[in-house]
Structure 1
Amino acid sequence: MRTDMKRVGTKGQRAALVGALLAVVLGGTGCGDDECVTAFDCQEKNPVTEGQGWTCVDHVCRAVDLTPPDGGADAGSDGGTGSDAGTDGGTLPDGGTDPCASVPRDAKLGTLQLQAGFTAEESAELSPEVLAVVSTPGPTYSLFGLRVTAATRDLVALGTWPDVKPGASAIDTILAPADRANAANTFPSHFLAYDGTRLLTGYTKMEVNYPGVVSVVDPAAREEASYFDAKTSVSAVGTADAFFINGGPVDRVSNTLGVYALVTSARPYVAVKAVTFPSQGVGTSGLSAYSTNSIAVFGYAKTGAQAGDFVNVAHAVGNAKLTQAVADRTPVVLADEPAVDVGSDFNAAAAFGNGVAMARGANSAGVFDVTDVSRFSLTPGLAGNQPVSVGAREPVLTAADACTSVDLLSSLGSDLLVGVTDSNGRRLVRIRQGQ
């Protein structure tokens, strides 16, 4: 029997990366030499229509609908609101029978199967409008969320775990002043990072060359929000007084993909390139995580054999190397650092104690099928600049059917938060290693 979790998202709306828009923006690198080579070739030849973009497939420019499902609520994971989310009614919109209607499910994990060595603790309801979640360090965990509706893109307080609920009003919009009049023209990235004081997230604009912005917001309102040019940002992590942003150049520091440190220890904030990607074979930027023992995992998407194919890879970097790279303005060469042997493609990553959790799977016809959530332990080198040791894969959650989806990974102290969706609704579940 095929053992995979429900496809993450509405059919036809998903791509190999969280933040599927980037695959459309960047296109493939192997489209050939006919009508196009990349999506930018198509953009130069064709006007951009609101809600649409261009991609290059088999040498041909094709229009792509970039309007996120549910009125712009989610461009990378629909929270189970699509027609494939599973219902208890037993009848699908097309008149067919829902195979999930009679399947028994756990109140927390649905049909997902928890593996040995892990326990499922508390759970809390989560609105499908919330794309990303981040927690304060604890021991009392306050949560913040990135909430997206058709008309707004803002940060909200979600309360104290496990009493999670959206705040009555937004902390602040993530949109720079020039973009607030046309929120529908912006596509939020699916990440939210916290450096102990400030929150950071980003978005892409449906304009020529698809410019982007990262927004830094102080939830306690001690500082005004700050906005920086940051094209194609896919993920970010926060450390004390710095954010590491995986994507294009931040504040126009360079012109290549990589990981950029936005140092927030003093005003004005300073952007520094901290990690370089290989010069060949990189399709897009990728996913990031930062473990409780101060080890970063950064990735990028390698171009695949077929046009528009991307496969995510990741490497582990110790904090000492990152600190030195920022201080010396000499980026870490990511390809020289230990690889995380994920064993498949993946579309989400988050710290899980002294390790990293990844949602593994494969992209099929624009839909990412998650097969499991697995953990990889991370151990620092004996000396500060020695390579990190990456442990073997430990399965955390698997499934034998497609009735329950995983659409979010985040952290709660040393534990993992998993966003779970099925016909019982959407919720966050706390997963703990050990008894």
Structure 2
Amino acid sequence: MKTADWKRVAPWTKSVSLAVTTFAVALLGTGCNPECVDTFDCRADNGEPPAGQQWVCIDEKCETEPIGQPPVPDAGTPDAGPVDSGTPDSGPVDSGMPDAGPVDSGTPDSGPVDPTPDAGPVDSGTPDAGPVDPTPDAGTPDAGPVTCETTPHDAKLGTLQLQAGFVATETAPLPDGISALGSSPGPTYSFYAVQGGGKDAALYSMGTWPDLQLSPTKLYDVVTPEDRAGSVAVYAGGYLINDGQRVFTGYTTGASGSPGSLSLYDIATPASSSFLTAPKNYSAAAFSNGDTSAVLLNGGGLGTLPTGLGIYGVVTSANPLGTVRVANFPAEGVVASGFTAVADNGVAALGFFNGDFVNVIYGVAPSVVAQAITSGTPLELGSQSPIEVGSDFDSASSFGAGVVVNRGGYDENFSFVSTDVSRFALSTSTGSDTVTVGARAAVLDYVDQCTTVTMLEPLGSDVLVGVADKNGQRLVRLQVAP
């Protein structure tokens, strides 16, 4: 069935139509019709004329005149007399007197004239009960719209607002092109970084905190020779783990299934460096509990283990290194890999990207993670303690005995718009396998998008925040206030 096509009427055309319609109705209602056509119309409408008078229709209007002076209809041509010279007739000039009634005395009604029109005095000019502003306007013209270039920026945090309970300490410049960085366990924090985001991604030394400077000497190519020589695109991972003996970092490719590799750089013996197959690897964190230590990898497989999204482990406490599947994701509602962090009390924060296209994360007790590593039986992540972040987030890190995330959401252009950086304390009771998640504590608030957080990286019990704005890129160390 074919239907008629309807068109929207612009709002202004509606008002014009209404005005035209109203005028037409008014015109028809009041009328511009003649009052009369002939004498009979006048008599029919007005009745008998006064005594000695008769009705006449002149210029379509009813008037009376003395009987005996019949009206002469206008022939439509000027009279035979000379053209009016412009001189008034022979009668006296109108004296300006109105009709026979007296001139209006100006008295509005029968009552006396009000001697005081209102009760109040003349306005003194004071706008209200308060004093007159001695300087109502400084006279300075408007400086124009506020932009990121004109907005004041703090030297450390830019336009980010540090919240109560946290302290910003040292800063260090962040070189361009850094896709990942990380420090050694400490107390002297040695830094390494991955520079480059494609096939040329490589590992470099950056010195020790806070005197960071990217070395010009490449230490290791973090992409396998096969993928460097191949035709598919390479995407460097956003993580770097330094356990004091090795530096772990990874990448994926644009081929079907997002294959990739985990790079293991041996600090003491670079020639012993190697790669492990690691499809869909996305994030990682170092874990330690008693005699058990591992690098937890959030991805789709590791080495020769069966593939599938989950948490895998490179068991660094084993010699030689071992691999194990640590956690299974829920059977439904999982779309992609997620974020991984381990608090300094050993509680792991493990997550994935769910069916609502939002990152979610769970707290897992260190004893539970250690048991999964040593037994080879993966834990079920869906049965662990959810960390209710309250929104999506695009980065996560340990921050003392807790996890910190950069919260926000994606806009219609698929750009992440951040709202705040918040921390959740994570703890377990003695002998308990259950994690208690603390209330959200805002660390940094975004008042605008002039300053953005580019990364969150652990530094011992503190966190490094990558900050970018008009003043460049830098790392800022944040601590929980004592």
For the superposition of Structure 1 and Structure 2, which TM-score range results when normalised by the shorter chain?
Answer: 0.7 to 0.9
Secondary structure of the residue aligned to 2:358 is strand
- Give the 3 Å change call, closer, same or farther, for CA 146–97 of structure 1 in structure 2: farther
What displacement does 1:251 show?
Answer: 1.4
2-side partners of 1:330 and 1:152: how far apart? 38
Q: Deviations over 1:183-226 (max 9, x none)?
A: 97311111112223111111112224331111111233356112
Of stretches 370-379 and 171-180 in structure 1, the one that deviates more from structure 2 is: 171-180
- Give the 3 Å change call, closer, same or farther, for CA 174–401 of structure 1 in structure 2: same
Instruction: State TM-score, norm by structure 1.
Output: 0.73
Q: Deviations over 1:52-83 (max 9, x none)?
A: xxxxxxxxxxxxxxxxxxxxxxxxxxxxxxxx
Residue 410 of structure 1 corresponds to which residue in structure 2? 457
Aligned residues: 334
Residue 328 of structure 2 corresponds to which residue in structure 1? 276
What displacement does 1:252 show?
Answer: 3.6
- Give the 3 Å change call, closer, same or farther, for CA 285–150 of structure 1 in structure 2: closer
1-side partners of 2:232 and 2:469: how far apart? 28
Amino acid at match of 2:373: V
Residue 285 of structure 1 corresponds to which residue in structure 2? 337
For residue 303 of structure 1, the aligned residue among 351, 355, 360 is: 355
2-side partners of 1:408 and 1:155: how far apart? 18
Larger-Rg structure: 2
What displacement does 1:392 show?
Answer: 0.6
The answer to whether the Cα contact below 8 Å between 1:194 and 1:239 also exists between their aligned partners in 2 is: no
Q: Deviations over 1:21-70 (max 9, x none)?
A: xxxxxxxxxxxxxxxxxxxxxxxxxxxxxxxxxxxxxxxxxxxxxxxxxx
What displacement does 1:181 show?
Answer: 2.8
Find out whether 1:430 has 2:482 as its counterpart: no
What displacement does 1:98 show?
Answer: 8.0
Whose relative contact order is higher, 1 or 2, with alpha carbons under 8 Å and at least 6 apart? Answer: 1
The answer to whether the Cα contact below 8 Å between 1:372 and 1:397 also exists between their aligned partners in 2 is: yes
Residue 382 of structure 1 corresponds to which residue in structure 2? 430
What displacement does 1:140 show?
Answer: 1.5
The answer to whether the Cα contact below 8 Å between 2:185 and 2:242 also exists between their aligned partners in 1 is: no
Residue 281 of structure 2 corresponds to which residue in structure 1? 233
Identity %: 40
Residue 23 of structure 2 corresponds to which residue in structure 1? none
Instruction: State TM-score, norm by structure 2.
Output: 0.66
Q: Deviations over 1:134-180 (max 9, x none)?
A: 11122211111121156621111111111111112122111122223
For residue 265 of structure 1, the aligned residue among 310, 317, 342 is: 317
What displacement does 1:246 show?
Answer: 0.5
Aligned pairs for 1:318-357 (under 5 A) are 318-357=365-404
The answer to whether the Cα contact below 8 Å between 2:199 and 2:227 also exists between their aligned partners in 1 is: no
2-side partners of 1:99 and 1:233: how far apart? 39
Secondary structure of the residue aligned to 2:251 is strand
2-side partners of 1:295 and 1:198: how far apart? 22
Secondary structure of the residue aligned to 2:272 is coil
- Give the 3 Å change call, closer, same or farther, for CA 98–425 of structure 1 in structure 2: farther
The answer to whether the Cα contact below 8 Å between 2:198 and 2:235 also exists between their aligned partners in 1 is: no
2-side partners of 1:311 and 1:331: how far apart? 24
Segments of structure 1 that go 5 or more residues without pairing to the other structure are: 1-95, 305-309
2-side partners of 1:125 and 1:274: how far apart? 37
The answer to whether the Cα contact below 8 Å between 1:151 and 1:183 also exists between their aligned partners in 2 is: no
For residue 243 of structure 2, the aligned residue among 195, 215, 225 is: 195
Segments of structure 2 that go 5 or more residues without pairing to the other structure are: 1-143
Find out whether 1:368 has 2:416 as its counterpart: yes
2-side partners of 1:200 and 1:98: how far apart? 44
1-side partners of 2:314 and 2:333: how far apart? 26
The answer to whether the Cα contact below 8 Å between 1:195 and 1:239 also exists between their aligned partners in 2 is: no
What displacement does 1:265 show?
Answer: 3.3
2-side partners of 1:242 and 1:138: how far apart? 17
1-side partners of 2:402 and 2:157: how far apart? 22
What displacement does 1:270 show?
Answer: 2.2
**Cα RMSD over matched residues?**
1.9
Find out whether 1:216 has 2:264 as its counterpart: yes
Q: Deviations over 1:284-331 (max 9, x none)?
A: 010010111111100001112xxxxx1000001122111111111111
2-side partners of 1:197 and 1:340: how far apart? 32
- Give the 3 Å change call, closer, same or farther, for CA 151–98 of structure 1 in structure 2: farther
